[in-house]
Structure formats: structure tokens, C-alpha cells
Amino acid sequence: MGKSPLMSFATVAMLASACATQTGWTPTVDTFNSPNAFRLSQDMEECRAIAAQAAGGTLRETATGAAVGGLIGAAGGAAIGAITGSPGTGAALGAAAGGIAGGAKQGIESDDRFRNAYRSCLRNRGHNVVN
């Protein structure tokens, strides 16, 4: 028994949203007149590791959001499907929609936590972070 096209789309969409946040973003740092410029490379490596830990891992967060969203979507879809006479189809559609939305939301939030932690770490180490 093969996967339905809807579930294949959901899987691809979740993986794409997770991978999009793993592109290697780094903040822009202005080193002009900075007494800390000599240690920027080391601080960036250390702050990236700290930020990754603070974010909780984008892939893991995306998967968690997809699972929770899928469960909520399935329940809502089944309820609507029951009214229209097709609870199974409603649950499947609701799970797919909820999974995509939940995964994307968690992935974006994890990425935001990563960026904020990275910037904060560099600023706390005396660097002028532009973005």
C-alpha cells in the first residue's frame, strides 16, 4: 500500500521547512574600532554552538510541531468529516494540514530562538552586531 499524495506532500513540506533554517545564517558584525575584533572567529564558533543548544534543534522542533499539529488537525478534521459523512477523509486532510502548519511554526520559532541567542551571545562578548 503506497503513500497518499497528500501525505507525501506533507512529508516533503515539513522537511523543506526544517532544512530551510539550516542554511548557515550568521549575524553581521561591525569590527570597526572594536577592541574585540581579534577574537571574533572564536566567539562566533562558540556562540553558534550555544545558540544551537538554546534553540533546541530545528529539525527536532519541526518534527515535534508536525506531530502535535497533525494530532490536533486529525481530531478537528475527523469532527468535520463526521458531520459531512466522511470522518476518515476529514481526519487525513486535517492531519496533513495540521502537520504542515505545526511543523512550519515550530521550525520558524526554533530558527528565531537560534538567531536571537546567537546575536545576544556575541553582544555579551563585546561585539557590535548589525543584524
Question: If 0-12 CB within 10 Å is exposed, 13-18 middle and 19+ buried, where does residue 105 land?
Answer: middle
| pLDDT (tens digit per residue) in 24-62 | 899 999 999 999 999 999 999 999 999 988 877 555 555
124 vs 97 pLDDT, higher one: 124
The residues spanned by each domain of the chain are 39-129
What per-residue confidence (pLDDT) applies to 37? Answer: 95
Alpha-carbon gap, residue 110 to 48, rounded angstroms: 14
C-alpha 116/C-alpha 128 separation (Å) is: 14
Which pLDDT tens digit goes with each residue over 87-109? 777 667 666 666 566 556 666 77
CB 102 within 8 A of CB 72: yes
120 CB-contact burial (10 Å; exposed 0-12 / middle 13-18 / buried 19+): middle
List, in sequence order, every residue forming a beta bridge with 29; answer none if it has no partner: 129
Reply yes or no on whether the pLDDT at 117 is more than 50: yes
Q: What is the pTM of this model?
A: 0.58
Alpha-helical runs (H) found in 28-86 = 40-55, 58-84
> pLDDT-derived band of residue 18, with 50, 70 and 90 as boundaries?
very low
CA-CA distance, 23 to 41, in Å (whole number)?
19
The 3-state DSSP class for residue 14 equals helix
